[in-house]
Amino acid sequence: MTATRLDPVTSPLLDGVKHGFFTRVGGASTGIFAGLNCGGGSSDQAEVVAMNRARVAAEMEVAPAALVGVHQIHSSDVVVVEGPTDARPKADAVVTAVPGVALGVLTADCQPVLFADPQAGVVGAAHAGWRGALDGVLEATIDAMEGLGADRGRTHAVIGPSISQRAYEVGQEFLERFMDEDPNHSRFFVNGAEGKYQFDLTGFGLSRLRAAGVAEAEWTGHCTYSDPARFYSYRRATHQGEADYGRLISAIRL
């Protein structure tokens, strides 16, 4: 993983819009962070994380200061970005109508979701773990894009590499939280081992996007937990007893 060539996942639904769900390939980090760790909140060396983010900015064809993100808190809050900034307000989604600004979100099992309405010149990016998705971060991102002139009926949304159902074991309390919201959420759970359940996070995300009225939505099909060569995974790191874990970045720009 010492090569500088990056290996972003892209989607045909976002053709014509510069974007990438970046893997860990091509980064400068070492040890448990080996690869393209873009998480400033990790215990990785700050200067190495900055180097990794600069490589992503170069791939996105923007200056490092124009790769803009937020301090993610598993919320449904959205920030409208009006230009390059070092500010990191607490939120979990970003939207912009400004060309040349790349929006970035960090994940390590949660859903990175990229949105675009090219006709309106509006893009968005959201970090959607189970809590954010349940609380409406995807719908809030679409609303914020419409506030900038987008139309959800033209908007394409793509979920990038995330933890898959077969790797996402949860307990009874987790299931009940979703059932309390809507009994129909039971369709996103299957029985697992020893009284546990397997939760379909990306299926849940897709259902929320489609119900919100986007033109098209898809998951790229990549499981972060199951592919350690390409992806960081919080849950895998926990199961392996590692002290910390890297963060993947997903970015989009006009």
Q: Which residue has the tokens 């390409």?
A: 230
Query: For residues 13 and 158, is the Cβ–Cβ distance under 8 A?
Result: yes
What is residue 4's predicted lDDT score, i.e. its pLDDT? 73
What tokens were used for 200? 């379909």
Query: For residues 107 and 247, is the Cβ–Cβ distance under 8 A?
Result: yes
Per residue in 171-199, pLDDT (tens digit) is: 999 999 999 999 999 999 999 999 999 99
Q: Indicate whether 84 pLDDT > 90.
A: yes
What CATH number is given for 12-253 in this structure?
3.60.140.10
Q: What's the one-letter identity of residue 8? A: P
Q: Indicate whether 1 pLDDT > 50.
A: no
Q: Indicate whether 153 pLDDT > 90.
A: yes
Per residue in 4-55, pLDDT (tens digit) is: 799 999 999 999 999 999 999 999 999 999 999 999 989 999 999 999 999 9
Q: How many whole angstroms from its chain centre is CA 139?
A: 15
Domain ranges of the chain: 12-253
Q: Indicate whether 146 pLDDT > 80.
A: yes
Per residue in 118-131, pLDDT (tens digit) is: 999 999 999 999 99
What tokens were used for 77? 């809050």
| Residues contacting residue 231 through CB under 8 Å, at least 6 positions apart | 23, 24, 161, 222, 223, 224, 225, 248
Q: Of the candidates 72, 110, 111, 115, which has an alpha carbon nearest to the alpha carbon of residue 95?
A: 115
What is residue 216's predicted lDDT score, i.e. its pLDDT? 98
Q: Indicate whether 91 pLDDT > 90.
A: yes
Query: For residues 231 and 161, is the Cβ–Cβ distance under 8 A?
Result: yes
To the nearest 10°, report the CA torsion of 237, 11, 26, 124.
-80
Percentages helix, strand, coil for the chain (3-state, rounded to 5) are 30, 25, 45
If you average pLDDT over residues 234-250, what whole number do you get? Answer: 96
Q: Indicate whether 2 pLDDT > 70.
A: no
